[in-house]
Chain A
Amino acid sequence: MTCVELQESLAEVEDGTTPEQRAHLRTCPACSALVNDLNLIINAAVGLQEAEEPSPRVWNSIETALKREGLIRPQKRAGSLAHSLFAGWTGRWLAPAAAMLLLSAALLVHNRMQTNTVSEQTAFTVPVPNPSDLNDNDLMQEVAENAPSMQAAYQANLQQVNESIRDAQAVVDESPNDEDARRSLLDAYQQKSMLFELAMDRSLP
């Protein structure tokens, strides 16, 4: 099992307990660290108190996303919400793309943190060859179809956010232990993810 195969397998069994996963983790410190981090997050999530319940905005976003995906339906009221804004939504790829973007960013930063300590980790590659170009054409095509008047604005912002990713990436490469740089890189990816989200929302009409 390669590092990439292990990362893909984590979608099914995230704690790394299959025989194949265990065999790979024994020989790969980078993937082992990744799985440890995931388990840490899972354990921390279990320990969350009710007092730390997310804001209603989170539930709203989840509800909206579920409606968009057709997994739940808005309650009908005499021909009103049945024709909701979401009915004509065509940018279904954008939500997973945005999520993938963030996941890639997290993996990327995680990878950068490890590369200077273990030489073997050069094999640990992020499954996104050039994150700053991820789905950019699709994004702009979506905007062109659904919000042509906003095309220039999206293009300009996309360019800026890609530049910010490259800049932050360069600083991380230069100083892998610089916490600010790593945070800046994550911020930049989150900004790009937000751009995808906004494009998705913009396609609602």
Chain B
Amino acid sequence: MVKERATKLAGIGVIVASTLVAQTRAEYHFAVGPKAGVSVSNPYGSISVKPSPDNRVVVNAVLHSDKVEVDRNQTGNRVDIQSHLLAGADASSGRVDYEVQVPPDASVTLHCSDGTLHAERLHGDVSLEGAAAAVDVHDISDAHVHVKTMNGAVTLSNIQNGHVEVDSLSGDVSLNGVTGPLVQVVSTSGRINYVGDFGNSGEYRLTSHSGDIDASIPEWTSADVSARSVRGEVHDDVPLQPKAHTWFPLDKGRAFAGTVGRVALSSTVILRTFSGKIHLSKRSEKQ
């Protein structure tokens, strides 16, 4: 019995050791000017981007085997990083995990298939794309934030003055404190959850074909809201001043439209689903 256990442990030890040996770390530095462009493409693995303290792009890569290498190229103010899969590489051996530091004003394009995409504390444009990639973006200001996923979950937090566009087929989308001139989410079957005050003077369009849409707003919100579910239900716990005229039928339980708060400061909020449920609720929160 003891011998069997020792054999198993030794086997596990060999596997762990060989994995650790196979992993290699690499670090690359690039000097760039203001508003640099940084692109990272990584079929397998995660990419995390944070601000650097100076005008340098620093790339830390953990390569999980010798069947993958990191190709990098700098052309002027633009840096391109790509994981280059060699013969025989698969999702495990071809994995690379990146931690990248960029100047906060850099425009960043991240691409992976099934890892995690993460970006934070930047004020340049951020574009993230991946079929099964889970996306997490927070503390971005004055920038475009574009996300495309198939079934990866998307979480955006504290995006201020953003031009936000999220396209996801079946991944759930969560927005917390996301405001800006345009905030748009289009999903086929994913749930959409918005927590925030809809800013002011922006257009917020949350659409899911069959997913539910939940929006939770504080008392001081000013917004011109319309919600409609073709085959599903709509609920609102917010006192709305009903609109005198709408161009779509306000079937009870399937649609509502009205204004909350001060009209002069209001954003336009459009919530649409075909067969999902829409719920607009008010939450108590100190301003």
- State the A residues within 8 Å of B (CB): 55-57, 60, 74-75, 77, 80-81, 83-85, 147, 149-150, 153-154, 156-157, 160-161, 163-164, 167-168, 171, 178-181, 183-184, 187-188, 190-191, 194-195, 197-199, 201-202, 204-205
Contact = CB atoms under 8 A, between A and B. Distances in A.
Interface in B1-49: 37, 39, 41, 43-44
Given A74-B73, A202-B131, A60 B151 contact: no
B246 to A, nearest CB: 11
Given A56-B125, A180-B248, A205-B43, A157 B151 contact: yes
A205 B146 contact: no
B274 A153 contact: no
Nearest to A167: B274
A161 B132 contact: no
12 contacts: A56-B37, A56-B109, A60-B39, A81-B73, A164-B189, A171-B230, A184-B207, A190-B167, A191-B209, A201-B113, A201-B129, A205-B44
Interface residues on B, range: 35 or more
Given A171-B230, A184-B272, A201 B111 contact: yes
B169 A191 contact: yes
Contacts of B80: 74, 81
Interface string B229-247: 0100000000000000001
B189 A160 contact: yes
Contact of B169 (A160, A171, A180): A160
A156 B67 CA distance: 31
Contact of B150 (A154, A171, A187): A154
| Contact residues of B: prevailing secondary structure | strand
Interface stretch (B51-59, B82-90, B196-204, B258-266): B82-90
A160 B144 contact: no
Contacts of B169: 157, 160-161, 191, 194-195
A89 to B, nearest CB: 12
Contacts of A180: 228, 248, 272
Contacts of A60: 37, 39, 109, 127
B148 interface: yes
A63 B39 CA distance: 12
Nearest to A205: B43
B158 interface: no
Given A60-B109, A167-B209, 12 more contacts: A55-B163, A60-B39, A77-B71, A80-B73, A85-B82, A150-B113, A153-B150, A157-B150, A168-B274, A171-B230, A179-B247, A191-B187
B107 A56 contact: yes
Given A191-B167, A201-B111, A184 B209 contact: yes
Contacts of B130: 198, 201
A161 B186 CA distance: 12
B129 A153 contact: no
B131 A201 contact: yes
Contacts of A190: 167, 186
Contacts of A204: 41, 43, 113
Contacts of B69: 80
Interface of B: 37, 39, 41, 43-44, 69, 71-73, 75, 80, 82-85, 89, 91, 94, 107, 109, 111, 113-114, 125, 127, 129-132, 144, 146, 148-151, 163, 167, 169-170, 186-189, 207, 209-210, 228, 230, 247-248, 272, 274-275
B75 A55 contact: no
Contacts, number: 144
B91 A187 contact: no
Contacts of B111: 201
B144 A57 contact: yes
A146 to B, nearest CB: 10
Contact of B209 (A56, A150, A188): A188
A194 to B, nearest CB: 5
B274 A55 contact: no
Nearest to B171: A157
B189 A85 contact: no
A191 B187 CA distance: 8
Given A164-B209, A190-B186, A205-B85, A147 B113 contact: yes
Nearest to A168: B274
Nearest to A57: B127
A71 B156 CA distance: 36
A197 B188 contact: no
A183 B129 CA distance: 23
